[in-house]
Amino acid sequence: MQGNKTQGKITDSSALKSRLCACGAAAGRDGFCGSCRLRKLTAARQRPPLPPNILEELRLAYIGNVRRTSENLNRLAARAGVPKQRLKDEAGKRGWRSQTERRPWSAAEVEFLEENLGKLSSTQIARKLGRGVASVQLRARKLQRSLRVTEGYNVSDLAEVFGVSHGRVESWARRGLLGRATGHGGHGGNLRFATQCVLRFVRKHASEYDLNRVDQEWFKAILFGFRALDGQSR
């Protein structure tokens, strides 16, 4: 009986040794060695290039601010049947990023700003006017109006200017990357983070956010101050 067991083990071992990959290396149960298996998986993940007309639409989608770009990408992804992340990856490779439109302030916009400072956050006002956050804050300063309500940022504000989800911002907060918050409230409604803490986050944790997705005008303003934008915003 012992001889039969030994014979079986020898037979099994011989079978394993005879299982070779096409490249000549020892193969696994699927008939591939580790290197060939990796090449096969990589080839399966490779995606065909986007057609020229989709690339042109993708380039045009990045004309505008972060919010408008996101809306354009949603429409393009639905129409072309291409995942939104695929479109973002392609745009990142080509260096395409959203921009902040600069246009003169109309009398109606200034009136809306004056009426809502102290009631709405700068992010909410910017969204309603289709402008950058920094542009709204700079205009308020020029009007010598109080920025008390716009001092600091809540979760929604940060999600907007960094171009990320609320969950991502809340993750930063849980990890202490945004410093100590003040206030309270579900989903970041009344929870606010000091501007200095946000500035420290921008400088020390660049790997946490994507420069292609942040509000460019706001990013320049928080790094270099609003005076750096005086010649750009009107």
pLDDT at 48: 79
pLDDT in tens, 47-91: 678 899 998 889 888 876 777 888 889 999 999 888 998 898 888
Helix, strand, or coil here: 117? strand
Inform me whether the pLDDT recorded for 122 exceeds 60: yes
In this prediction, residue 16 has a pLDDT band, given cuts at 50, 70 and 90, of very low
In this prediction, residue 177 has a pLDDT band, given cuts at 50, 70 and 90, of very high
Is 25 in contact with 33 (CB distance < 8 Å)? yes
Tokens of 38: 């990796």
Inform me whether the pLDDT recorded for 159 exceeds 80: yes
* Mean pLDDT, residues 118-135: 78
pLDDT at 202: 93
Quick one: how far is CA 105 from the chain centroid? 29
Is 154 in contact with 121 (CB distance < 8 Å)? yes
**Parallel/antiparallel/unpaired status of strands 192-193 and 153-154:** antiparallel
In this prediction, residue 225 has a pLDDT band, given cuts at 50, 70 and 90, of low
Separation between Cα atoms, residue 64 and residue 82, nearest integer Å: 21
pLDDT at 45: 58
In this prediction, residue 232 has a pLDDT band, given cuts at 50, 70 and 90, of very low
- Region of poorest pLDDT, from 2-11, 45-54, 152-161, 167-176: 2-11
* Mean pLDDT, residues 172-193: 75
pLDDT at 229: 42
Which long-range CB contacts under 8 A does 187-195 form with residues at least 24 apart?
A: 187/155, 187/156, 188/154, 188/155, 188/156, 189/154, 189/155, 189/156, 190/154, 191/154, 191/155, 192/152, 192/153, 192/154, 193/152, 193/153, 193/154, 193/158, 194/152, 195/151, 195/152, 195/153, 195/222
pLDDT at 41: 66
Helix, strand, or coil here: 228? helix
pLDDT at 228: 43
Q: What is the 3-state secondary structure (H, E, C) of 160-222?
A: HHHCCCHHHHHHHHHCCCCCCEECCCHHHCCCEECHHHHHHHHHHCHHHCCCCCCCHHHHHHH
What's the pTM value of the predicted model, to 2 decimals? 0.41
Buried b (16+ CB within 10 A) or exposed e, 120-130: bbbbbbbbebe
One-character DSSP codes across 27-48: --TTS--HHHHHHHHHHHH--P
What average pLDDT is seen over the chain?
A: 77
